[in-house]
Amino acid sequence: MNRPITTLFMLMSVDGKISTGAADDLDVDKDFPQIAGVREGLHQYYEIERTTDLWTLNSGRVQAKIGVNTKKIPSRTTVSFVVIDNNHLNENGIRYFCALSKTFVLITSNADHPAFGVEERNFHIIYQKELSLENALIELKSKYGCERITIQTGGTLNGLFLREKLFDYVDIVVAPVLIGGKDTSTLVDGKSLLSQKDLSKLGVLKMQECVMLENSYLRLRYEVVR
């Protein structure tokens, strides 16, 4: 394979929501710890997250929501981060990831992104006039040695990965909560299919493991077979 093996790893509600609402100040990382019946088992998701790939791909919007643009500069980890962003991260957000990452790669279509003013030895930019997830993955493997990567982006980008057949595995932790709301982001968003001729764009899964966790949480692991 000329690109990394990918795994979609997410925390979602029973009805498939990956946020607690449509506003940017609503977020499962901030809100689930406040909800009785949900917070008790939440630690299991973060424990599993620490066992995922040493490369992880995120979206700038999600990272801005959790505050990296204003956070203090962290200590370095052994994880390499890839962020897709055009206008959500500021210079502090970029420097945050440079400090946090073994290798940090920004994928952007914005020639005026503040990242172009940052120089760090472990920082690289993949500039694309139009976003091509497949080409970006190929470059991550060929230039930076990324063999496996965990995808943790928002619903819209997850939808692009799905439609371009770029998911190899799916690993989902299901929290015991119903959220609702047609405008609340789900595991996979983006454009809906409009005809039966597009059914080939679905992601068909084969169950690898279904684990009942503590406090009514579930872990579902699948291989994407087509």
**pLDDT of the residue at 165:** 97
- Cα gap 171→169, rounded to integer Å: 7
Bridge pairing between strands 148-151 and 5-13? parallel
**pLDDT of the residue at 133:** 98
- Cα gap 42→37, rounded to integer Å: 10
Mean pLDDT by 10 residues, the chain (226 residues): 97 98 92 98 98 98 93 97 98 98 98 98 98 98 98 97 98 98 96 94 98 98 97
Which amino acid is located at 87 in the chain?
A: N
**pLDDT of the residue at 24:** 84
**Burial class of residue 111, CB neighbours in 10 A (0-12, 13-18, 19+):** exposed
**pLDDT of the residue at 220:** 98
